[in-house]
Amino acid sequence: MAKRKPLGKDQQLKSRNGFTLIELVVAMAILFILIYMGFSAFSFTNTLAKANQNREVVLENISTVLDQMTKELRQTTTVEDHVGGDGNYGVTSPSAGTSRGLTDILASTSKVPPLGSDEFYTFDSSKDPILRFYTYDDAGKKHRISYTIALPTGGGINQQYWADSRYQPCEILYSNETGTNWNDGIHNQPITDQVITNFTVIRPSWSDKGKVIQIVIEAMMKDSSGKPVTITRIAQITLRQ
């Protein structure tokens, strides 16, 4: 068998050479592209998950307050109850054939939506709430129940964090008052997060004796691309006669 001829010095040097500079640059470029694609996919997935989480929070807020309103309104009537007789009965706000919403309870100095730059809502506490009605519990005690909309007592979030800078997110407040002059019970307790951008209650003029109540609640949030989207829920309740 013939013996292999030993490699020359030049051939030995060539056999020990690694990647060329061009090959290294190409490999690093491919690596950076893969890392960037992975980071982008992770970032998109995280943003999408956050948007879905925010949507679930908003929907939960709206569903909770609508379910509560519906349950309580079904306990009131459009005619005076046999208990009490003090003239306060049924739904008093809004009155039959009218509606009440955010613009009805803003202070006269407050700009109605849409807001301009660096403008915020201010509310007139002397105005009636958006929705008010009366019910009786099983013991015959009368309750005055109210729903309205306002900013947190500590102040609202900064405008740069709103989903849309023209619409300021608010809370829905709940009152369930009893006793003389309605001194007892719950007074203006927040029952939603600061996500509500519209809360309107309508008593259509076509409704017989104002027994139909329509409720519209809207909340604004950012989608996965950062654009504002509005979630609207509408409920219609027919009162007992």
Domain ranges, ordered by start, for the chain: 39-238
Instruction: Tell me the residue type at 123.
Output: F
Q: What is the structure's pLDDT at 86?
A: 61
Neighbours of 46 (CB within 10 A): 11
Q: Is the omega angle on the peptide bond into residue 114 within 30 degrees of 0, that is, cis?
A: yes
Q: What is the structure's pLDDT at 8?
A: 56
Q: What is the structure's pLDDT at 82?
A: 47
Tens-place pLDDT, residues 30-82: 888 888 887 777 776 776 777 778 888 899 999 999 999 999 998 887 665 44
The DSSP line for 50-109 is HHHHHHHHHHHHHHHHHHHHHHHHTT-BSS--SS--SS--SEEESPTT-EE-HHHHB-TT
Q: What is the structure's pLDDT at 7?
A: 55
Q: What is the structure's pLDDT at 11?
A: 56
Whether 26 has a pLDDT exceeding 90, the answer reads no
Confidence band (pLDDT; 50, 70, 90) for 1? low
Instruction: Tell me the residue type at 46.
Output: N
Whether 23 has a pLDDT exceeding 90, the answer reads no
> Is 213 exposed, middle or buried (CB count within 10 Å of its CB: 0-12, 13-18, 19+)?
buried
Q: What is the structure's pLDDT at 230?
A: 93
Tens-place pLDDT, residues 119-174: 889 999 889 999 999 988 888 888 999 999 999 987 788 888 899 988 999 999 99
DSSP type of residue 125: T
Instruction: Tell me the residue type at 110.
Output: S
Tens-place pLDDT, residues 217-233: 999 988 878 889 999 99
Once rounded to an integer, what is the mean pLDDT over residues 167-191? 94
Taken as a whole, the chain contains a residue count of 241
From the CA atom positions of the chain, what is the Rg in Å? 32
Confidence band (pLDDT; 50, 70, 90) for 22? confident
Separation of alpha carbons 143 and 156, rounded Å: 30
